[in-house]
Structure 1
Amino acid sequence: MINIVYDIKVYRQTLKDIIKEDDVVVELGCHVGNSTRIISQLASHGKIIALDKGTESREKLDELKKEVKTPIEFINADVRLHETLEEVGQKVDEWGGCDVLSVDLGGGYHPDTTFKVFYIWSSTLKPRDTIIRNRGLLDFIHSSSGTEIIRSENGWLESCGDDGIPPRLKELKLWSPKL
């Protein structure tokens, strides 16, 4: 199932609704680890890969790893980079797959980037459940209309196919002048 929310309270409640104690969770946009702490309590016998490119993340996640029992692997990297996806994909394969993909990139900003990241990561990792926190995507969904019903029952879009990690995308360089 794919869940799209904006309010942080709804986001954290949805995490509580979908995460099981032995889940492997990939968290994109862990920031300083406030939601990671909740995930570690929920996936008490699972594993977490938490990613963020922010400079303040490493210190906070290192502190959190000392406080909780759930193994947390923190990766200080840009989730838009192919190398980051390859690294996480290898780890997740070693752990038996990804159960939950959590995407919290910018809250309400950059829904296009958030959707692209979701699409590429979810089509590669094939999670059971995905949660995306982004106001722009939620606004788009509630503002749209249509008569066709196309639905995926997984945490990824079935229209993604089964391609695995996509080849290096030139489009990624368009997301940021820093790439």
Structure 2
Amino acid sequence: MIKIVYDIKVYREVLRDIIQADDVVVELGCHVGNSTRIISKLSPEGRIISLDNSPEAVSAMASVMDKNRNVEFIKADVRLHETLEVVAKKIKEIGKCDVLSVDLGGGYHPDTTFKVFFIWSSTLKPRDTIIRNRGLLDFVHSSSSDEVIKSREGWLESSGNDGIPPRLKEFKLWSSKIN
């Protein structure tokens, strides 16, 4: 399932609905850890890998990790391929990614949010994904099509198992490692 929301209360309600006690959650855009604390309590037997690049996140997330042993914080830019490589290696060792949580500024940059979602979900193949972004939600509710293309997992399995389609040359701007 892929769920797009904007309101932070709705976002946290969806987290409560989908996260199970032993889930592995990758949280992109944890900021100061308010949602991370909720995720940690929802998955006490699981593991949470939270990422953010903001300076405010460092000390706040250190406090979250002190109180929640199942949380690991990585200060990094989730747009960088190198960051994805680090997390993908951790997920490979764990053996699964159950939930991908994407909250990159809420209302800002829907194009960046979608690109990050697409690349990370294609790599990690989560069971469920939740994205908090006003622009994407507005787009979804404002668009229409007679075509039915639907993915039922937390990633776009309808795109195939190829990861990043080679025709999307723009992704090369993000990383020289994408061929």
Structure 2 counterparts to residues 49-60 of structure 1, below 5 A: 49-60=49-60
Q: 1:165 to 1:26 in 2, by over 3 A?
A: farther
Counterpart in 1 of 2:140? 141
Question: How far apart, CA to CA, are the structure 2 residues paired with 1:95 and 1:118?
Answer: 20
Question: How far apart, CA to CA, are the structure 2 residues paired with 1:37 and 1:117?
Answer: 23
Q: 1:31 is paired with a residue of what secondary structure?
A: coil
- 8 Å contact 1:108–1:136 — kept in the other structure? yes
RMSD, matched Cα:
1.7
Aligned-pair CA distance for 1:158: 1.2
The amino acid of 1:150's aligned partner reads I
The amino acid of 1:172's aligned partner reads W
Aligned-pair CA distance for 1:170: 2.1
Counterpart in 2 of 1:67? 67
Aligned-pair CA distance for 1:164: 5.0
Question: How far apart, CA to CA, are the structure 1 residues paired with 2:76 and 2:164?
Answer: 17
Q: TM-score, normalised by structure 2?
A: 0.91
Counterpart in 1 of 2:172? 170
Counterpart in 1 of 2:76? 77
- 8 Å contact 1:29–1:52 — kept in the other structure? yes
Question: How far apart, CA to CA, are the structure 1 residues paired with 2:35 and 2:150?
Answer: 28
Q: 1:160 to 1:128 in 2, by over 3 A?
A: same
- 8 Å contact 1:124–1:163 — kept in the other structure? no
1:30-82: CA deviation from partner (whole Å, max 9, x where unpaired): 0000000000000110001000000111111110111124x111110000000
Tell me which moved more, 57-66 or 4-13. 57-66
Q: 1:11 is paired with a residue of what secondary structure?
A: helix
| Aligned residue pairs, count | 172
Structure 1: segments with no counterpart, 5+ residues: 174-179
Counterpart in 2 of 1:132? 131
Question: How far apart, CA to CA, are the structure 2 residues paired with 1:21 and 1:157?
Answer: 25
| 1:35 matches 2:41 | no
Q: TM-score, normalised by structure 1?
A: 0.91
- 8 Å contact 1:124–1:166 — kept in the other structure? no
Counterpart in 2 of 1:122? 121
Tell me which moved more, 158-167 or 81-90. 158-167
Counterpart in 1 of 2:6? 6
Q: 1:165 to 1:150 in 2, by over 3 A?
A: closer
Counterpart in 2 of 1:107? 106
Question: How far apart, CA to CA, are the structure 2 residues paired with 1:141 and 1:163?
Answer: 24
Question: How far apart, CA to CA, are the structure 2 residues paired with 1:159 and 1:54?
Answer: 33
Structure 2: segments with no counterpart, 5+ residues: none
Question: How far apart, CA to CA, are the structure 1 residues paired with 2:52 and 2:27?
Answer: 9
